[in-house]
Chain A
C-alpha cells in the first residue's frame, strides 16, 4: 500500500525537479507539503499578531476605561464587542488551528513517517488557498458598513441572526462565511493527514511506531471531521436566517434559539481537543528528546487520547447548564464532564513520569514543553469547578471561565507552538535559533501570561462577568482593589506582548544568520532528523528511509550513544 501511494505522489510531482521553479510556483502555488506548512505557519503568526493587538486594545479599555488608547484611540462599546468577538474567533480558528494542526501536520507528517509528500498534494494546496480566503473575508468584515460582528465568538442566535439586534448587517454574515470557509479548508487538510499517515508510512513503520504527534494530529483530524457536520449545518441555517429571512432560530416564528447552541457546542467542545491533542503530541516529542527518555506508557497515552476524543462528544451541554435546557440533563453532562479528568490526567501523568530517571537538557524548546505541562495542569483542574453544574450556576460567563479557558488555550496555542518552533526550527531552516534570546522570550512570556490570568480568576470568583466594556457602571465591581487587579492584568499583557519582539527578531535573524544546525542537532530518533536541514523537495532524496524500531528508544542499556534513530539498521544486520 505504501509503495502505491509513493508512486502516485512522485508521478504528479517530479516535473519540478527538472528546472529551477519560479518564485510563484515555488512559494505561492507550491504543492510541497513543507511550503504549505510554512504558508499556514506564517499566516497563523500574522493573525496571532492581529489577535494580540485586539487583546491589547480591549485590556487597555478595561484598565483605563474611557481614556484614549495608544495605537487605537477611544474605544466605543460596539468596537469593544467586535474586538472581543474577533479576538476569540481569530485565536481559535486562525491561530490555533492553522499553526498546530495545519502547519505542524503539513510540515511534520510526511517527514516523520518517511515519505516524500502528502498523498493528495493538490488538495493540500487548495486547503491553504481556501484558508487564506477565509482569513481575508474575516479581516474584510472590519471595513464594511456597520463594522465587524460583535456578538461573541459563540455567535448565539437570535442576536447573530438579525441585523436589527446585532447592528452589523454585513459583519455578521461575513463572520459566518469566514468561519465556514475555514472549516472547509480544514476538512480538506484533514483528509490528507489521515490518508497519508495510514497509507504512505516508511517501510517497516508499524502503527505503534508512529511518533505520538502524528497520531495526535490524525486523531484530532478524525475528531474534527466527526464534530463539524452539525456546525456547518447550523452555519448554513444561520446564514439563511440572516440573509433570506428564514426562522430556524426565531422563536416568534416557531424556531428555537437554543438549537444554535447545541449545534455550536456539539462542535465547539470536541474542537478544544482538536487543538489540545496536537499540542500534547508536540510536548511528547520535545520532552522525550530533551529528557533522553522513552515516552512513558506510549500505548496508554494513545488509548487515552482516543478515549478522550470519544468522551468529548458527550459533554457539550456543560456550556449550557443555565441556558434553558432541561435542568435534569445536567446530571448526565456533569458526570461525563468530570470523567474527562481521567484521560487528561493519565496523559499528563505520563508526561510527568517520562521525566523520571531522565537527564533533562533545559533548551528553550524543553522549557516551553515543561511549561505546557505545568500551565495546562492549572487550566485542566480549573475546569472541574465549571463542569460541576452546582458551582457553574455562579461561575458561568464570569472571568473565572475566561481565565480557565485561557489557561488551556494559551498553553495549547502559544506555549506548545513555541516549543514546536524552537524544536523544529533547525529542520525548517537549517539553522538554530539563539538560545539566550529564546530563554529571555520564555521567561517574559510565562511570567506575563500568569500575571494576566491569575488576577482574572479572582475577579471572576468575585462576580465579574465577561464582555462588559466598562466595569465602572457596576457599583459592586467598581472598587479600587478590583480595578487594581484589572490594571495589573493589563500590564502583564503588555509585558507578554513586548517579550514577543525578541522572538520575532530572533526568528527572522536566525533564518539567515543562525548557527548551522546539521541534520540532527538534538540527537533525536524520529525520521525527520534523517532528512537534510532544510529538507529538499521530496525530503529524503532518492532512497526513502526504512524503520526498524519505535520513535523513543533513548538511553537504551548497552549502547554507547543515548539515542537510536528509527532508521538505523540493527547491528546484527549491518555487519
Chain B
C-alpha cells in the first residue's frame, strides 16, 4: 500500500536523506500525507486571512458591520470547517496506527540479532558473530560502530548503563530511547548499502553532543568478510573485546556506586 501511495507523493523526506530501512518508506509516505492535508488547510486559512485583512482595511466612508457570530447560520462558518478537520484527523490517524504497528509493535522473526548498550558517552554494539547467537564466545564487540548485513531482518535489544539515551538512525527513520534497568527490543531491515550517522537523541550529560556512532551496511559477502576478520576466535580481537567488556563493567560498577 505504501509503495503504491509513494508514487503520488512529493517525497519530502527522501529528498533530504536516503531511505535505508524497509519501513522508512512508510514514515515518508505518512509525512507526505500529513503535509498535503495540513498544507491544504494552512494555505486556505492563511490565504483567506490575508484576503480579509486586505478587503476590510479601514477606508473612508466604510463602517464595520455588526455580526455577533451567535446565530445558527453564522456559526456554520466555523462548524462546517470543523467537521472537515475532524475528517482529516481520522484520515491521519488511520495510517498513523498502521505505521506505528508495523514499526514498533509487530516485530518480525529475526534473521540476525544485535545488542546495543548505551552509556555516557559511547555506544557498544554486540554483534552475534558467525553462530548468529548473542552471548556466545564469538560475539564481536565494537564501540561506536554498528556493522550490519544488507537485506536482513534484524532484531535489536537496547540497554542503558547509566542515564536515558536514545538510539536514533535517521536514514532508518528509527528512534528508540534506552532506559536504565530495561531491555527494549525492536527491529529493522536495512535495504541500502552505505555508511551513515547514529545519533544520541536524548540529552545525556556533558558530552551528549559527541555521542555519535556510525552504521555500516554492507552486502552479505563484505559483511561476512568483516565478521571473519574481526571474529574473536580468529585473532587477538577477542581479547580486546573482553577487555572492553571488563572496562565498561567497571564503569557500570562505579556508576552504581
Residues of A within 8 A of B (CB): 77-78, 80-81, 150-152, 154, 156, 158-159, 164-167, 251-252, 256-258, 291-300, 322-324, 327-328, 330-331, 334-335, 338-339, 341-342, 345-346, 348-350, 352-362, 370, 373-374, 377-378, 381-382, 384-385, 388-391, 393-394, 396-398, 458, 461-463, 465-470, 473-477, 554-557, 562
The answer to whether A338 touches B205 (Cβ under 8 A) is no
Which candidate, B123-131, B165-173, B220-228, B241-249, is the interface stretch facing chain A?
A: B165-173
The answer to whether A360 touches B58 (Cβ under 8 A) is yes
Chain B neighbourhood of A258, CB < 8 A: 179
The 3 closest A-B pairs by CB, nearest first: A251-B181, A463-B170, A390-B99
Q: Does B1 contact A (CB under 8 A)?
A: no
The answer to whether A562 touches B64 (Cβ under 8 A) is yes
* B23-52 CB contacts (< 8 Å) to partner A: 26-27, 30-31, 34-35, 38, 41-42, 45-46, 48-49, 52
Chain B neighbourhood of A390, CB < 8 A: 26-27, 30, 95-100, 103
A474/B205 contact (C-beta < 8 A), A348-B45, A359-B59, A359-B62 known: no
The answer to whether A361 touches B58 (Cβ under 8 A) is yes
The answer to whether B38 touches A465 (Cβ under 8 A) is no
Chain B minimum-CB-distance residue to A326: B105
* B115-171 CB contacts (< 8 Å) to partner A: 120, 162-164, 166, 168, 170-171
**14 more A-B residue pairs beyond the given contacts A381-B41, A388-B96, with a C-beta to C-beta distance below 8 A:** A78-B206, A159-B205, A251-B182, A296-B67, A296-B78, A297-B75, A298-B69, A322-B166, A335-B93, A342-B82, A348-B45, A357-B65, A358-B52, A360-B53
Q: How far in angstroms is the closest Cβ of chain A from B97?
A: 6
A394/B173 contact (C-beta < 8 A), A151-B203, A373-B49 known: yes
28 inter-chain pairs at a CB distance below 8 angstroms, sorted by A residue, are: A77-B210, A150-B205, A156-B163, A164-B257, A165-B120, A252-B181, A292-B63, A296-B68, A296-B78, A322-B176, A324-B182, A324-B184, A328-B105, A334-B100, A338-B89, A341-B85, A342-B82, A349-B82, A350-B69, A356-B56, A357-B56, A357-B65, A384-B38, A385-B38, A391-B31, A391-B34, A461-B16, A555-B66
Q: Which of B38, B41, B208 contacts A467 (CB 8 A)?
A: B208
Q: Does B111 contact A (CB under 8 A)?
A: no
Q: Which of B41, B66, B82, B196 contacts A346 (CB 8 A)?
A: B82
Q: How far in angstroms is the closest Cβ of chain A from B62?
A: 6
- Complex CA gap A556/B68 in Å reads 10
The answer to whether A158 touches B209 (Cβ under 8 A) is no
Chain B minimum-CB-distance residue to A394: B173
- Complex CA gap A296/B53 in Å reads 16
- Complex CA gap A373/B86 in Å reads 21
Q: Does B212 contact A (CB under 8 A)?
A: yes
Q: How far in angstroms is the closest Cβ of chain A from B10?
A: 12
Q: Chain B, 199-242, contact with A by CB distance < 8 Å: what is the 0/1 string?
A: 11111111111101010000000000000000000000000000
The answer to whether B199 touches A465 (Cβ under 8 A) is yes
- Complex CA gap A352/B47 in Å reads 11
Residue among A297, A373, A385 with the highest chain B CB neighbour number at 10 A: A297
* B74-105 CB contacts (< 8 Å) to partner A: 74-75, 77-78, 81-82, 85-86, 89, 92-93, 95-100, 103-105
A378/B42 contact (C-beta < 8 A), A467-B203, A477-B197, A555-B66 known: yes
- Complex CA gap A164/B119 in Å reads 13
The answer to whether A322 touches B175 (Cβ under 8 A) is yes
The answer to whether A158 touches B164 (Cβ under 8 A) is yes
A159/B164 contact (C-beta < 8 A), A78-B206, A352-B48, A476-B17 known: yes
- Complex CA gap A473/B209 in Å reads 8
- Complex CA gap A361/B166 in Å reads 50
Chain B minimum-CB-distance residue to A161: B163
Chain A minimum-CB-distance residue to B102: A390
- Complex CA gap A562/B186 in Å reads 65
Q: Which of B34, B56, B66, B209 contacts A468 (CB 8 A)?
A: B209
The answer to whether B17 touches A463 (Cβ under 8 A) is yes
Chain A minimum-CB-distance residue to B206: A78
Q: How large is the interface on B (under 10, 10 to 19, 20 to 34, 35 or more residues)?
A: 35 or more
Q: Which of A324, A377, A397 contacts B201 (CB 8 A)?
A: A397
Chain A neighbourhood of B214, CB < 8 A: 475
The answer to whether B65 touches A468 (Cβ under 8 A) is no
The answer to whether B166 touches A397 (Cβ under 8 A) is yes
Q: Does B57 contact A (CB under 8 A)?
A: yes
The answer to whether B31 touches A385 (Cβ under 8 A) is yes
The answer to whether B175 touches A396 (Cβ under 8 A) is yes
Chain A neighbourhood of B199, CB < 8 A: 463, 465, 468, 474
The answer to whether B74 touches A297 (Cβ under 8 A) is yes
- Complex CA gap A356/B57 in Å reads 10
The answer to whether A81 touches B99 (Cβ under 8 A) is no
A394/B82 contact (C-beta < 8 A), A258-B179, A339-B89, A468-B208 known: no
The answer to whether B212 touches A474 (Cβ under 8 A) is yes
- Complex CA gap A297/B78 in Å reads 9
- Complex CA gap A337/B241 in Å reads 46
Residue among A330, A396, A465 with the highest chain B CB neighbour number at 10 A: A465
- Complex CA gap A352/B210 in Å reads 46
- Complex CA gap A565/B13 in Å reads 54
The answer to whether B45 touches A349 (Cβ under 8 A) is yes
- Complex CA gap A167/B89 in Å reads 44
Q: Does B6 contact A (CB under 8 A)?
A: no
Q: Which of A78, A323, A377, A397 contacts B179 (CB 8 A)?
A: A323
- Complex CA gap A562/B93 in Å reads 47
The answer to whether B78 touches A300 (Cβ under 8 A) is yes
Chain A neighbourhood of B12, CB < 8 A: 461
The answer to whether B104 touches A355 (Cβ under 8 A) is no
Q: How far in angstroms is the closest Cβ of chain B from A172?
A: 11
The answer to whether A555 touches B65 (Cβ under 8 A) is yes
Chain B neighbourhood of A475, CB < 8 A: 197, 214
The answer to whether B173 touches A165 (Cβ under 8 A) is no
Q: How far in angstroms is the closest Cβ of chain B from A361?
A: 5
The answer to whether B92 touches A384 (Cβ under 8 A) is yes
The answer to whether A352 touches B52 (Cβ under 8 A) is yes
Q: Does B3 contact A (CB under 8 A)?
A: no
The answer to whether A393 touches B56 (Cβ under 8 A) is no
- Complex CA gap A357/B67 in Å reads 8
Chain A neighbourhood of B64, CB < 8 A: 291-293, 357-359, 554-555, 562
- Complex CA gap A164/B162 in Å reads 10
- Complex CA gap A461/B200 in Å reads 16
Chain A neighbourhood of B86, CB < 8 A: 342
Chain B neighbourhood of A338, CB < 8 A: 89, 92-93
The answer to whether B13 touches A251 (Cβ under 8 A) is no
The answer to whether A474 touches B197 (Cβ under 8 A) is yes
Chain B neighbourhood of A345, CB < 8 A: 81-82, 85
A393/B212 contact (C-beta < 8 A), A328-B105, A356-B67, A463-B16 known: no
Q: How far in angstroms is the closest Cβ of chain B from A249?
A: 9
